[in-house]
Structure 1
């Protein structure tokens, strides 16, 4: 896909996320890895609902800005996920309400934040790791992600929000939306002892869909 079409795709999908309330104000950021190893990212302090394709930040493979506005302050966490997830072609970070709420709960497992509630939560998200709280834009969050050694496509930043990598932007968005819906289900079912997918059912999904 041409860079022009990728720019348009970022703006189109970002506006959809914004209009459906999955991120608000100037929160959230999106990036795509280009064929030359460089990146397109949303600019810092920009609203995902009102992006200009021409003003998206274009960076080279080393992270140097080539054109466009100043990049998102969360660029280090994007770079860390790309470094550790070789198949990642796009990354989406939101401040979606239910995922943020789950990140604050004391009982969650930092190695697998949400239990296997549905087949699609297993297929599209898998195990989500919890990253301890860091100030937004703190480069130390990148080291925390690198310490996961690429084992997770989705991470949840404590008191902040989810970050999901995908082979394509559409795949990353599908995954982060599935994560948000799973977080919503978890909050609705919290304390009700819901029936989870069994280990055998999870393994069947993994084997059948080659996850």
Structure 2
């Protein structure tokens, strides 16, 4: 209801996103590959833990997804929104891929710089305008 551009919202307890949601130090940057900022979102908010099904969790998810297409819920997993199921599933799979890289790297990973993301966004926007 808050996002007329979104018809689908899914919560995934995918293996690696759930592991990352339970890590002692949650990553602040998930942009480990170009697909993340281009498909999942340049920023992925991290939602504090609230009991599953609680009004507090619902409000926190609603607030996080107001300006983002995905979020990580601590000790839960990921939540992703979009126009179609296929779009949401693609976003969730790219988010899961980033979490897998983070976990398998043992926390020692590189992310794209702001300049690299700006370049990607300009390239994608330029392709869409042609």
Q: Secondary structure at the match of 1:91?
A: strand
Separation in 1 of the partners of 2:46 and 2:107? 21
TM-score (norm 2): 0.84
Does the alignment pair 1:179 with 2:95? Answer: yes
Segments of 4+ moved more than 6 angstroms: none
**Counterparts of 2:26 and 2:67 in 1: how far apart (Å)?**
18
Residue 148 of structure 1 corresponds to 64
What's the counterpart of residue 7 of structure 2? 89
Write out per-residue CA displacement over residues 49-90 of structure 1, whole angstroms, 9 at most, x where no aligned residue: xxxxxxxxxxxxxxxxxxxxxxxxxxxxxxxxx41x331121
Q: RCO greater where, 1 or 2, for CA within 8 Å and sep 6 or more?
A: 2
Residue deviations 1:86-106, cap 9 Å, x none? 311211211111101101223
Rg larger in structure: 1
> In the alignment, what sits opposite 1:205?
120
Matched length: 124
Shift of 1:149: 6.7
1:160 counterpart residue number: 76
| Shift of residue 207, structure 1, vs aligned partner | 2.2
Gaps of 5+ in 1: 1-81
**What TM-score results when the alignment is normalised by the length of structure 1?**
0.54
